[in-house]
Chains A and B, each alone.
Chain A
Amino acid sequence: MQWLNVILQGVLIGGLYAMFAAGLSLIFGVMRLVNIAHGDLIVLAAYVSLMVTQAFGMDPLTSLLLVVPVMALIGYGLQRGLLNRTLGDDLLPPLLVTFGLSIIIQNGLLELFTADSRKLQAGAIEIQTFQLAQNLWIGALPLIQFTVAVAVIGGLQLLFYRTALGRALRATSDDQAVAQLMGLDTRHVFAVAMALSLAVIAIAGVFLAVRANFDPAIGPARLIFAFEAVIIGGLGSMWGTLAGGIILGVSQAIGAQIDPGWQLLAGHIVFLAILAVRPQGLFPKVWG
């Protein structure tokens, strides 16, 4: 039962990792951009939530109503104002610009909020648990978080394959020039994609803030989890990303059970093993 518990916790946090990864995967699918500042944007969302909860006295989950639109707007502006200029055949500009952005966000947050660890309080729901079976417990918050993650990924799938916006995103990722011939302003389409990505990041950031302590420096580690989830799951598949997140979460949970210092290492080792043995990921799929 002990191990079942461990695996269950791993699955649940895997949902959070999958949310980290969904935004990254989306952007790569639509515009072949890997945003090195992705993890730091998750942390930024956590701080925005901190400000909103302090300013308006809301609880973190309600703050999502403000944090999501704010982050989405930031994403639109970021893409339209800066990142659209980096797109093209050369791989260096987007990489180095987003790396610069990562440093700017980290140090900006450091200046504004200091390096102190913070955490958001969600109230009673944080300690609420359900008993599934003898010696098998599930926390309310992790369960909510996992459900939301699945909903987000399902929602993104629906968006991509059943809506006009999704059609526009897929078409633009296929062939930018011909997308323009359809009357699509690709600058706007890319910006909408980034806004979407940051909306997902916002949700992930708030859940992160409630779940654990955060400070300006933890961004890169989240980027790495997101990246590992995407690679384990396979490029181009949202459900694969969910699977990747879960596998990563479970690996870390098992590692932590063996020895607390092994938690992160276990995740990295599983990632490297999959890279060695099946580099295309477990469930790779091209768009459509």
Chain B
Amino acid sequence: MIVEHATRSSRIGVVLITIALVVLALAPYWGDRQTLRLLAEIFTFIALASLWNLLAGYAGLVSVGQQAFVGLGGYVLFALAMLLDVNPILAIFIAGPIGALVAVPVALLIFRLRGAYFAIGTWVVAEVFRLLASQVSVLGGGSGISLPASVVLAMAPSRQMREFEMYWLALALTVATLAAIFALLRSRHGLALTAIRDNELAAQSTGIGVWGIKFAVYVLTAFGTAMVGAFIFLQKLRISPDTAFSVNDWTAFVIFITVIGGIGRIEGPIIGTIIFFALRQTFAGLGSLYLLMMGAVAIVVMLWAPKGLWGMIVERLGWQILPLQRHLVLGKDARGKS
């Protein structure tokens, strides 16, 4: 007897994803500059939402303070690129481990809080980061700073090449994030996480080290979030404490995306991001009215469709795009022979 993951829908899903990836990788050749920027933005939100989903939907750690690491990643990038002459792209990959390192003492502190108090605690941490960033005058203090032209020009021989580079970087980062999450969920630890997601008390009673797993997930999520944050601000070419640690941009939107798409399923954030951007393109000019609408939709979804759009589809049709389910197949051995 063995454990199988794939279902018919996931086999189709994997094929579709592969095709989609190829098409997206070739986007610089069929898309214009605006399309590339939009796609890159979509990718970063997919990555952020997937990471938040891992934290909240699987490990049960609802954070409203992930903007702490987005901003941290951004500031690390600016510090490395401007003060230490590090290649910006390399700086992105350094931001990850730094984010993880910072996450360790943070986690040790805020893990003393439970439930909603933990959530607010994460917010406080983000506020502290924001206030500290305002004090660092060499990086612009309260008003922020722009990336010097020299650093930007040094990234690639031409502007077009730079745009292509940034696009592929966004795609690569997002694919890597999703792949890492997928690998984690497929692993033994992923099984533990899914158990925690379904029923934490029961999971604990089977001997799973819940605290340790949550801690690891928090640190890993910080790693990924910091890297994405570094990329985001490399893309923007300018950083300030208010934009770096904005609750609206990096938490509210991410939460709405994940809730509407479906918490606790890997496909949820992807679906949610697509819906979010479709809505944004449609309702572009409305400003705060748009946020108001999103808030109302999120509330409605949370109360009447708590598993999100994808959750509803899973319940009705049993689909999965990525092979993550675990089926026990009796009568087959590891070689597939009965």
Contact = CB atoms under 8 A, between A and B. Distances in A.
Interface of A: 33-34, 36, 82, 85-86, 90-97, 99-104, 106-108, 110-111, 220-221, 223-224, 227-228, 231, 261, 264-265, 268-269, 271-272, 275-276, 279
Contact of B295 (A34, A100, A231): A100
Nearest to A115: B288
B289 A272 contact: no
**B contact residues, range:** 35 or more
B170 interface: no
A36 B120 contact: yes
Most chain B CB within 10 A, of A103, A106, A111, A223, is at A103
A107 B288 contact: yes
Contacts of B115: 34, 91, 95
B62 A95 contact: yes
Contacts of A94: 116
Nearest to A24: B120
Contacts of B195: none
Given A86-B303, A91-B116, 9 more contacts: A34-B120, A95-B115, A95-B116, A96-B255, A99-B298, A110-B288, A224-B120, A261-B134, A279-B113
Nearest to B291: A107
Contact of B303 (A93, A228, A271): A93
Contacts of A272: 109, 124, 128
A224 B263 CA distance: 26
B160 interface: no
Given A107-B288, A265-B132, A100 B302 contact: yes
B123 interface: yes
Interface string B90-129: 0000000000000000000110110111011101100110
Contact of A99 (B64, B113, B124): B64
Contacts of B295: 100-104, 107
Nearest to B289: A111
A100 B62 contact: no
A7 to B, nearest CB: 22
What are the 5 A-B residue pairs with the smallest beta carbon separation, nearest first?
Answer: A34-B116, A103-B295, A107-B288, A279-B112, A104-B295
Interface string B30-46: 00000000000000000
Given A223-B120, A272-B128, A111 B302 contact: no
A268 B288 contact: no
Contacts of A231: 113, 117
A93 B302 contact: yes
A104 B296 CA distance: 7
